[in-house]
Amino acid sequence: MEEQKQAKQRILSGIQPTGVFTLGNYMGAIVNWEQMQEDYDCAYFIADLHSLTVRQEPAELRKHTIEAFALLLACGIDPEKSLVFVQSHVHTHAEMGWVLCCSALMGELGRMTQFKDKSAKHADNINAGLFTYPVLMAGDILLYQADYVPVGQDQRQHLEFTRDLAERFNHFYGNVFKIPDGYYPKAGAKVMSLQDPTSKMSKSDPNPNSFISILDDRPVILNKFKRAVTDSEAEIVYREGKDGINNLITIYSVMTGKSIPEVEKEFEGQGYGTFKMAVGESVADRLQPIRDEFNRLVGEKKYLEELMAVGADRAYRISRRTLEKAKKKVGLLLP
């Protein structure tokens, strides 16, 4: 695969095996991945090593990793077109993380917004991995000489850190790493809570009506949209101050492929109830085949494990070249 696709630019993206992918994950990232694999040399991985910064139930983590892998396939990622693998199955990631840790600075890691936020949420477990995981993330990207990395607003700081770290390493040791750019989707990059549309949709929200899981069934999806917070204006237009309606219009736009002006025209003069049900139906229709395929795949564990092994082997062959070059540059003796 790697030899055949060098004419295409490479995109790399990872997603943690958190157990629940939300509509926000889907619209902000995964919905774009299927199309990207037609245009780019794509590498997608399950970032299970990153998940260890928060205490995990081992059996649950293993289950969620397999489910996350299956869900990527169900969402349209084709292992024949894209590189798909589990991060911990490729030991070059951990090795590169250590090499790069020795070029990362304490001060820049301490300024990471997510480190501050997660430290506040998990004050009883502010571990070294939580502090250094941006370095592991940088290694994930740089190992594959990625041209682009799809990033949301909350990951831009980490991409800038990756670029700075790569430039610093190249400056001291010679040219090893390609400097990656961000890939920013045009629509659906940020999906808000259905109950508090000023906040990002999150699976950690204590109110289950605030988010849609990719695996929610149709009645659940429709009920959650029926309860979605709107406003008292009864006008379906996208404008400042209408956070709830703006969120629903964005979701419907991405689900149907219609522009925001087209959505406004379609529902001109109609009530919020009708609009909310239409949004719910569009989401349920889009997610139904994903849920069906996921349910089929998770019942074929051996098949999934075979695909993981193939992906890990491909990932190792690609990433090993970069790792060995970096190790030589810093003076390590290769076996």
Give pLDDT tens digits for 3-41. 444 579 999 999 889 877 899 888 877 777 778 898 999
Question: What is the number of alpha carbons within 13 Å of residue 270 lying toward its C-beta?
Answer: 14
CA dihedral 152, 100, 143, 92 (to 10 degrees): -120
Q: What is the mean pLDDT of residues 173-200?
A: 87
CA distance 156 to 11: 16
Q: Is 81 a catalytic residue?
A: no
Homologous superfamily assigned to 10-187+300-330? HUPs (3.40.50.620)
pLDDT tens readout for residues 217-260: 999 999 999 999 999 998 999 999 999 999 999 999 989 989 99
What are the DSSP calls for 66-105, one per residue? HHHHHHHHHTT--TTTSEEEEGGG-THHHHHHHHHHTTS-
In the set 8, 81, 190, 203, the catalytic residue is 203
pLDDT tens readout for residues 257-303: 899 999 999 999 999 999 999 999 999 999 999 999 999 999 999 99
Sorting pLDDT into bands at 50, 70 and 90, what band is 189? low
CA distance 233 to 216: 30
Q: Is 63 a catalytic residue?
A: no
| Spatial CA neighbour of 155 closest among 32, 14, 46, 52 | 14
Query: pLDDT at position 188, please?
Result: 47
**In a 10 Å sphere around its CB, with 0-12 CB exposed, 13-18 middle and 19+ buried, how is residue 181 labelled?**
middle
Residues contacting residue 148 through CB under 8 Å, at least 6 positions apart = 9, 10, 11, 12, 40, 180, 181, 182, 183
Query: pLDDT at position 7, please?
Result: 77
Length of the chain: 335
pLDDT tens readout for residues 111-152: 888 777 777 777 788 889 889 999 999 999 999 999 999 887
CA distance 240 to 245: 10
| Spatial CA neighbour of 180 closest among 200, 192, 165, 197 | 165
Residue showing tokens 């906040």: 199
Show the tokens assigned to 103. Answer: 């070029």
How many CB atoms neighbour CB 203 within 10 A?
16
Q: Is 118 a catalytic residue?
A: yes
Residues contacting residue 46 through CB under 8 Å, at least 6 positions apart = 14, 15, 16, 17, 65, 68, 69, 72, 85, 86, 87
Sorting pLDDT into bands at 50, 70 and 90, what band is 212? very high
CA distance 309 to 317: 12
Mean pLDDT in the chain? 92
Cα angle value 71/72/77 (rounded, 5°): 140
pLDDT tens readout for residues 40-63: 999 999 999 999 988 899 999 999
CA distance 83 to 45: 8
Instruction: Report helix, strand or coil for 41.
Output: strand
Show the tokens assigned to 53. Answer: 């910064």
Query: pLDDT at position 214, please?
Result: 93
CA distance 55 to 70: 23
Query: pLDDT at position 3, please?
Result: 46
Query: pLDDT at position 155, please?
Result: 79
Class of domain 208-294: mainly alpha
In the set 118, 224, 242, 276, the catalytic residue is 118
Show the tokens assigned to 114. Answer: 């997510």
Q: pTM of the entire structure?
A: 0.86
Q: Break the chain into its structural domains and give their ranges.
A: 10-187+300-330, 208-294
